């Protein structure tokens, strides 16, 4: 018993309860940030009917959120490390709520794009700081790994259930409800976070290098936007200029980090093959998932004529598998090692994606459900392994920046999936379809459309879906093979290198 009359055991239990309550509070905004990356997949047809955006505006409504999050995560991860992660969480949650309210009542597509961009900026402040605060709540490596598994499950579940939530809301309310649903969660977080979470910042923050922030954000945004335009529209002047400019900015950013005392990214982390392959694992599965989820949603609604609610409910089995996989992955990785886990991740995603090749213009619902369930196992592993590897590989004061690398790979993958694989599907639709309108939905809305043209348009869309699934599936087969060949073996029960190192640092600190 200490001088306050409290036994160490009671203190430990109290601290543990506070940590888990803090985790629950953190999960709210994390779930929202990830959910808003996919909640519009089934909502876009309704938004298009109400706001009548052009084809370009519709793509920006879908993509600008992921572009903003992906381009700013690295910068805000470092800013949170230096100036306070809880402070940044509070500011980001407030701005996210303001952006959500604005998007819900946007009178036109231009303002909707603007508020979605504001939500993306706020989301970039939330993710790395939330992961860093979580690492402070759970300093012991094994408990931290379990907590990160739950964190990853919430992040993954947000992506997975976003279309489901959007479909259910649209069945009963107007389109703005998919944004307004964020506000109660934000309010609860703002009330509870100051009580349950402590401020955390680096012991030697240093100054934030403004030039690095601008180069990282501008380089990512220009590169992603240029690649998207090249994939969608072919070679033209604007993307031919923006893509190389973005690459130049990112190259300059990377070179500059080598000479800074407090870099935004510690590129030495990528010397670890496990870390590097894990970060790539954060990018590729999200690219595959975002593209195929969006295209499969169009297939269910526009090709097979299912209601938005019916299409949403069909995604539930895959969402459940994905979420459970996230939660159990840390314990499984301790037994089989990251090498085997990453291989299982990529091969299961590949198998699930290739099942989509069995869908047809007249059916394939069962194959769609099987695809989401099989791939969901791999998606869950990817979320959990990437997050745990990133945070466990660095000292605690760099946790925000490391988490930002992991989350940036997720968000860039999400944006590039729709931009590149979605554009591949759109290209094949234009080449194989009746050439009456640029998209399937626009074609089906044409007055007096002949039955033969309807059949041709639906068949062309399914061809594009198959092409996107095949390309993504083969890419996962290749990455799974690389993981097996290049990553070191790990004996069952042997702690992974990053966790062993973190444990050693903790022991030295004590």
- Asked whether 91 and 221 are in contact (CB, 8 A), the reply is no
C-alpha dist (Å) from residue 1 to 10, 14, 461, 510: 10, 15, 70, 21
Q: What is the spatial distance between Cα 389 and Cα 399, in angstroms, rounded to a whole number?
A: 11
Per-residue model confidence as pLDDT tens digits over 258-295: 888 777 777 777 777 777 777 788 788 888 888 888 88
**Burial letters for 314-336: b for 16+ Cβ neighbours within 10 Å, e otherwise?**
bbeebbbbbbebbbebbebbbee
How many of the other CB atoms lie within 10 Å of CB of 10? Answer: 12
How many of the other CB atoms lie within 10 Å of CB of 222? Answer: 22
pLDDT at residue 169, as a whole number: 80
pLDDT at residue 8, as a whole number: 41
How is 360-413 classified by DSSP, letter by letter? BTTB-HHHHHHHHHHHHHHHHHHHHHHHHHHHHTS-GGGHHHHHHHHHHHHHHH
Residue recorded with tokens 């800074």: 260
- What lies within 8 Å, CB to CB, of 138 at 6+ separation is 19, 23, 144, 146, 147, 148
Per-residue model confidence as pLDDT tens digits over 408-467: 677 677 767 777 788 788 888 888 888 787 778 778 878 888 888 889 999 999 999 999
SS3 assignment for 152-164: HHHHHHHHHHHHH
SS3 assignment for 116-153: HHHHHHHHHHHHHHHHHHHHHHCCCHHHHHHHHHHHHH
The length of the chain is 510
- Asked whether 76 and 204 are in contact (CB, 8 A), the reply is no
Angle at 232 between CA 469 and CA 430, to 5 degrees: 75
- Asked whether 74 and 216 are in contact (CB, 8 A), the reply is yes
Give me 119's structure tokens: 């939500």
Question: Which residues in the chain come in under a pLDDT of 50?
Answer: 1-14, 203-204, 491-510
Closest CA to 180 of 36, 34, 25: 36
- Asked whether 33 and 159 are in contact (CB, 8 A), the reply is no
pLDDT at residue 402, as a whole number: 62
User: What superfamily in CATH does domain 14-209+260-503 come from?
Assistant: MFS general substrate transporter like domains (1.20.1250.20)
Q: What is the spatial distance between Cα 246 and Cα 350, in angstroms, rounded to a whole number?
A: 31
- pTM (two decimals): 0.71
- Asked whether 263 and 257 are in contact (CB, 8 A), the reply is yes
Give me 292's structure tokens: 């195929």
Q: What is the spatial distance between Cα 78 and Cα 217, in angstroms, rounded to a whole number?
A: 13
pLDDT at residue 400, as a whole number: 56
Give me 297's structure tokens: 């949603």
- Asked whether 162 and 38 are in contact (CB, 8 A), the reply is yes
């Amino acid at each position: 018993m200490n001088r306050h009359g409290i036994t160490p055991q009671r203190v430990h239990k109290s601290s543990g309860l506070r940590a888990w309550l803090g985790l629950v509070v953190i999960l709210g905004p994390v779930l929202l940030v990830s959910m808003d990356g996919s909640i519009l997949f089934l909502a876009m047809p309704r938004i298009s009917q109400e706001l009548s955006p052009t084809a370009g505006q519709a793509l920006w409504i879908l993509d600008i959120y992921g572009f903003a999050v992906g381009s700013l995560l690295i910068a805000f991860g470092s800013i949170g490390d230096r100036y306070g992660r809880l402070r940044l969480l509070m500011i980001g949650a407030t701005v996210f709520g303001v952006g959500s309210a604005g998007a819900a009542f946007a009178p036109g597509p231009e303002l909707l794009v603007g508020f979605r961009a504001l939500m993306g900026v706020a989301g970039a402040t939330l993710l790395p700081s939330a992961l860093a605060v979580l690492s402070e709540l759970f300093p012991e490596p094994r408990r931290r790994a379990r907590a990160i598994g739950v964190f990853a499950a919430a992040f993954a579940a947000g992506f997975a259930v976003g279309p489901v939530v959007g479909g259910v809301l649209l069945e009963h309310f107007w389109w703005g409800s998919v944004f307004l649903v964020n506000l109660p969660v934000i309010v609860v977080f703002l009330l509870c976070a100051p009580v349950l979470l402590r401020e955390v910042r680096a012991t030697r923050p240093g100054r934030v290098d403004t030039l690095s922030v601008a180069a990282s954000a501008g380089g990512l945004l220009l590169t992603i936007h240029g690649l998207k335009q090249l994939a969608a529209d072919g070679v033209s002047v604007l993307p031919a200029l923006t893509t190389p400019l973005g690459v130049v900015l990112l190259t300059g950013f990377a070179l500059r980090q080598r000479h800074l005392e407090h870099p935004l990214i510690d590129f030495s982390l990528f010397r670890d093959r496990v870390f590097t392959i894990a970060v790539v694992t954060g990018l590729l599965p999200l690219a595959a998932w975002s593209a195929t989820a969006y295209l499969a949603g169009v297939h269910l609604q526009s090709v097979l004529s299912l209601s938005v609610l019916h299409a949403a409910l069909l995604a539930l089995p895959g969402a459940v598998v994905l979420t459970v996989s996230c939660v159990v992955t840390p314990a499984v990785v301790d037994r089989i090692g990251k090498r085997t886990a990453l291989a299982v991740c990529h091969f299961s995603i590949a198998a699930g994606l290739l099942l989509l090749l069995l869908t047809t213009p007249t059916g394939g619902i069962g194959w769609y459900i099987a695809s989401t369930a099989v791939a969901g196992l791999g998606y869950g592993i990817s979320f959990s392994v990437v997050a745990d590897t990133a945070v466990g590989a660095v000292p605690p004061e760099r946790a925000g920046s490391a988490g930002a690398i992991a989350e940036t790979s997720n968000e860039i993958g999400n944006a590039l999936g729709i931009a590149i694989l979605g554009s591949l599907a759109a290209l094949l639709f234009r080449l194989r379809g009746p050439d009456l309108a640029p998209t399937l939905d626009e074609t089906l809305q044409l007055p007096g459309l002949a039955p033969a043209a309807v059949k041709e348009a639906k068949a062309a869309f399914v061809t594009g879906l198959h092409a996107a699934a095949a390309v993504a599936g083969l890419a996962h087969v290749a990455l799974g093979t690389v993981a097996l060949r290049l990553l070191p073996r790990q004996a069952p029960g042997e702690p992974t290198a990053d966790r062993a190192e973190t444990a050693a640092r903790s022991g030295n600190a004590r």
